[in-house]
Amino acid sequence: MSRVQVDRERCVGSGVCESIVPEVFEIDDDGVLQVLRQEPPADDLDGVRDAVQSCPARALVLAE
């Protein structure tokens, strides 16, 4: 099972990840990233990989 990890020290709440995979990432009303699905379903993994590559803060890791 693949697992999403967020480095909270790095995340700047830009929302790039949410724009790519809103099923997995959500910026809450306080501007804090919430990971909706720590273990994303297979259908979302390509999107999560894209988000990992696209995060401007390099705050995301997908442990596969």
CB 58 to ligand SF4: min, Å: 8
CB 1 to ligand SF4: min, Å: 20
Place of tokens 């995979």: 21
Residue ranges of alpha helices (H) inside 14-55 are 16-20, 42-54
Site for ligand SF4 contains 33 (CB under 6 A): yes
Q: Of 23, 26, 57, 62, which lies in the binding site for ligand SF4, with binding defined by CB under 6 A?
A: 57
**Is 58:24 a contact under the CB 8 Å cutoff?**
no
Instruction: Please give the Cα distance from 61 to 64 (Å, whole number).
Output: 9
Residues near ligand SF4 (CB under 6 A) are 6, 11-17, 25, 33, 55-57, 59-60
